[in-house]
Amino acid sequence: MKTDSIILIAEDKDLIKFDTSKSKILWSIKFEKKIKGMTRINNHVFVTLSSTWAIWTSLINYNNGKVLWTLKKHFYNILINDNSIYFIDKWGKFNWISLSNGEEKYRGTLPFLWATPKLSLISNKLFLFTKKKTFVFNESTKNFDKTKLPFSLNSYKITSILDEFQINVNSLSNSHDSAIIYAGDSGANYGDSGMGGMDGGGGAGGGD
């Protein structure tokens, strides 16, 4: 069983990368706002920050602790493909931004009226689907093209899909606030997070 001595610790406004084998702080960051949650995805750490009226998300380089960007957005259903991040915001809008600098590439309405789709990367393509409808996001045209799931996958029967990316990332919850949040080197996280689970939600209701 693989073990690792590196953990991430969030305490109020401080984020600390700590080597337990050497009892040594490798880097630390003090934010202006309180840390509500975090998760590690490979060399990236997403940190959810909050004030009384708003939520921010910061992306941190895991190796050196550098803050790459901070956006006044609440991330749900995060997927990463190369230098792209796809997520749903708190308004239910689909977002596509740059992983490296947080620049917005597209933000728009999902092609579903009454249902929240599941999101999954299959063969490097982003599929959004419910039991009744399936779309693939076309980055060139920034459109959702109606399609079917590949490999004869049956969207009506599928309750969830974990692709290679999602298998290596823990889903994030919306539980109550936790004073201290730990994330080990494998990317595990505990306590409150401000970002929703990786699965895109159900598709049973409504007409979509």
pLDDT digits (tens, 9 = 90+) for 167-203: 444 333 333 333 333 334 434 333 333 443 333 344 4
Average pLDDT, the chain: 80
Residue 163 confidence (pLDDT): 66
Q: How far is CA 55 from CA 11, 58, 81, 87, 104, in A?
A: 17, 10, 24, 15, 17
SS3 category, 176: coil
21: number of Cβ within 10 Å: 9
* Range of lowest pLDDT (73-77, 113-117, 142-146, 159-163): 159-163
User: What is the pLDDT averaged over residues 54-65?
Assistant: 94
Residue 148 predicted with pLDDT over 90: yes
Give the tens place of pLDDT for each residue, 70-118: 999 988 878 888 889 998 888 889 999 999 999 999 999 999 988 878 8
Q: Give the separation between CA 64 and CA 6, rounded to whole angstroms.
A: 13
Residue 158 confidence (pLDDT): 85
Provide the CA 95 distance to its chain's centre, in angstroms: 12
The pTM score is 0.71
76: number of Cβ within 10 Å: 22
Residue 152 predicted with pLDDT over 50: yes
User: What is the pLDDT averaged over residues 201-207?
Assistant: 46
SS3 category, 34: strand
Residue 41 predicted with pLDDT over 60: yes
Angle ∠(64,169,25) on CA atoms, nearest 5 = 30
Please, which pLDDT band fits residue 69 given cuts at 50, 70 and 90?
A: very high
Please, which pLDDT band fits residue 165 given cuts at 50, 70 and 90?
A: low
Burial 92-128 (b: 16+ CB within 10 A, else e): eebbbbebeebeeeeeeebbbeebbbbbbbeeeebbb
Domain boundaries, the chain: 6-184
CATH number of the domain located at residue range(s) 6-184 in this protein: 2.40.10.480
Amino acid in position 200: G
